[in-house]
Amino acid sequence: MAEVLIVAEHDGATLNASTARCVSCAEEIAGDQVDIAVFADDGQALAAQAAKLAGVRTVLLIERAENAHPVAAVLAPQLAALATNYSHVLGPSTTFGKDLMPRTAALLGVGQLSDIMAVESPYRFKRPIYAGNAIVTVEANTGATLVATVRTASYGQTGSGGAAAIERRETDASIPAHTRFVELRTASDGSRPDLQSATKIVSGGRGVGSGENFALIYDLAEKLGAAVGASRAAVDAGYVANDLQVGQTGKIVAPDLYIAIGISGAIQHLTGIKDAGTIVAINKDEDAPIFDVADIGLVTDLFTAVPELTDALGD
Amino acid sequence: MQRILVCLKRVVDYNVRVRLKPDGSGVVLDGVKMSINPFDEIALEEALRIRERGEVEEVVVASIGTSDSQQQLRTGLAMGADRAVLVETDAQLEPLTVARTLLALVDRENPDLVLLGKQAIDADNNQTAQMLAALWQRPHAVFVSELSIDGAAATAVREVDAGLEVVEVDLPAVVSSDLRLNEPRYVKLPEIMKAKKKLLETIAFAELGIDATSQFSVVSTDPPPERAQGIRVDSVEALVAELKSRGLVDG
């Protein structure tokens, strides 16, 4: 029987939505045999949030001072120690999970599967390669613990209303002191929806032209209650901070509505938006590759169209 | 520091649009342009800059793969690496096996720092740096966009979902590069000529005695599902009407 342990992602106060997405994937692997591990220094409230996720059997709470920040070298030995009771250990394919899961797998002496996008059986999965230009079906040996990351854009969040038991756990894992968290610099002020859980995203590219011009993108996003994203070109040009980047090496998003403005549509960007419900493209270059994937395309100058669109959307 | 080890993977060039074999057995590699994985190229550039600042004596590039990977190592030497090591194998190795192989190289070379790309653009796994660090029982800092060396430690700025995270790691350590760490230099012809004289050592994979058992097998390789053909609208007004009719905006 498959039993899954999911490592919870959080910021110390709130559980990240990626955790509820991992539960949806885990249920396809192991039904109701799904536990969540919460590593924190003060994690009772976080554990309570995890316990409410539908489909979770038990929440394991591992509290120690070293767990205040998500340092992979600190968490991996603890997660590896807990993993021995499970057939599968899952984390989200966010920067948190990508950092932690391979280290955990190597400590267990096993490989790791990245970016599960579909579960065909407890040991057979689909995952993207070549920036999503190909999908491989992979079969894993049943004899080894399966450590994997879940491509969060492929799964919805499990519901709330669960009432899992919370159990405190201690591990005898030895924790290295060679990796030290210094600080987290966040550009976003938290007033805008998070890119990876937003239902609407307005994204700007190099065509927006400057950081000041990004006000056009923010104004439209404000009107729609949308998150703001950007292409790599816009981030490289310094228009916006790196945490807004959508694409192969940035964030993979799955909103209902994705509005790409002044984005040409490099293949690495398209990889990040393939799961969007409806893609709208506004670009003055009618040959831009973004129009190949757009559900609704508008060939026009963004500097007149975007303010017009913002106005047209009412109050 | 005495030495930085940089790992280079030979992959299908960034600009090539990959094609799949019709029988689902994989990606067409015959006659396709191959290059250094771009993230690894950034890692090498960073190592060279550290050497140019006088903070390390030697930069060694290593690759694991067929003898064709010599081309990418020669490019690395032309960029400025001092010498190269190829672990030769025709087998497709999983990241854990790659990490074990790199650990064997680490044991031979005793680097103060191992630099490599955060992921290879073929399999997009994003695992090797983290696994090598775990096996080596040393720190890792991955997705790094700024790196400074300070005696026995390094400070890394990491690109994470929430913004930029700063960590300090004791050396030796493993660092994986993100795109904005630097912009790699172009190789000039005289350097390509010079690189031909640099040492490129080859080790047979079998000589290292590494367990290469596969945990995963690829059953099939298929094209991604295609999105339905979209429509064009000719005005903002028409766009708004379309969005409303699909229930995507109010009104």
Q: What is the CATH number of the domain that holds B106?
A: 3.40.50.620
* Tokens read off for B245: 């009719």
Reported as a pLDDT band with limits 50, 70 and 90, residue A186 is: confident
Q: Which candidate, A110, A115, A63, places its Cα nearest to that of A94?
A: A115
Name which of A141, A296, A315 to mutate to probe chain B: the one with the most chain B Cβ atoms within 10 A of its Cβ.
Answer: A296
3-state SS, one letter per residue, for chain B: CCEEEEECCEEECCCCCCCECCCCCCECCCCCCEEECHHHHHHHHHHHHHHHCCCCCEEEEEEEECHHHHHHHHHHHHHCCCEEEEEECCCCCCHHHHHHHHHHHHHHHCCCEEEEECCCCCCCCCCHHHHHHHHHCCCEEEEEEEEEEECCEEEEEEEECCEEEEEEEECCEEEEECHHHCCCCCCCHHHHHHHCCCCEEEEEHHHHCCCCCCCEEEEEEECCCCCCCCEEECCHHHHHHHHHHCCCCCC
Residue B171 has a pLDDT of 98
Give this complex's ipTM: 0.96
Distance CA B183, CA B149 (A): 19
Query: Are the C-beta atoms of residues A196 and A17 closer than 8 Å to each other?
Result: yes
> Both A206 and A144 in a single domain?
no
Nearest to B215 among A106, A141, A251 (CB): A141
Mean pLDDT by runs of 10 across the 251 residues of chain B is: 98 93 93 97 98 98 98 98 98 97 98 98 97 98 97 96 95 96 94 95 97 95 90 96 92 66
Residue A190 has a pLDDT of 65
Residue A189 has a pLDDT of 63
Residue of B nearest to A71 (CA): B167
Nearest to A182 among B129, B166, B219 (CB): B166
Residue B250 has a pLDDT of 81
Chains A, B: CB contacts within 8 A come to 250
Q: pLDDT digit string (tens) for A21-44?
A: 999 999 999 999 999 999 999 999
Q: pLDDT digit string (tens) for A239-284?
A: 999 999 999 888 999 899 999 999 999 988 998 999 899 999 999 9
Chain-chain contact of B178 with A184 (C-beta, under 8 angstroms): no
Average pLDDT (A182-208) is 86
pLDDT at A151 over 90: yes
Q: How far is CA B85 from CA A272, B179, B204, B241, in A?
A: 35, 25, 11, 61
Residue A197 has a pLDDT of 81
Domains in chain A: how many in total?
2
Q: Which residues have C-beta within 8 Å of that of residue B123, sequence separation ≥ 6?
A: A129
Nearest to B124 among A112, A114, A298 (CB): A114
Chain-chain contact of A141 with B228 (C-beta, under 8 angstroms): no
CATH number at residue A204: 3.40.50.1220
Domains in chain B: how many in total?
1
B240 part of a folded domain? no
Looking at A168, A186, A218, which one is the last position of a domain?
A168
A73 at B interface, C-beta within 8 A: yes
A88 at B interface, C-beta within 8 A: no
A305 part of a folded domain? yes
Residue A224 has a pLDDT of 93
Q: pLDDT digit string (tens) for A215-232?
A: 999 999 999 999 999 999
B238 part of a folded domain? no
Residue B62 has a pLDDT of 98
> Both A208 and A285 in a single domain?
yes
Residue B77, burial from CB neighbour count under 10 angstroms (0-12, 13-18, 19+):
buried
> Both A203 and A159 in a single domain?
no
Residue numbers of the domain that contains A64: 4-168
Residue numbers of the domain that contains B215: 3-221
CATH number at residue A23: 3.40.50.620
Residues of A in contact with B118 (CB under 8 A): 249
Q: What is the mean pLDDT of chain A?
A: 95
In the block, tokens 């660092």 appear at: B175
Residue A50 has a pLDDT of 98
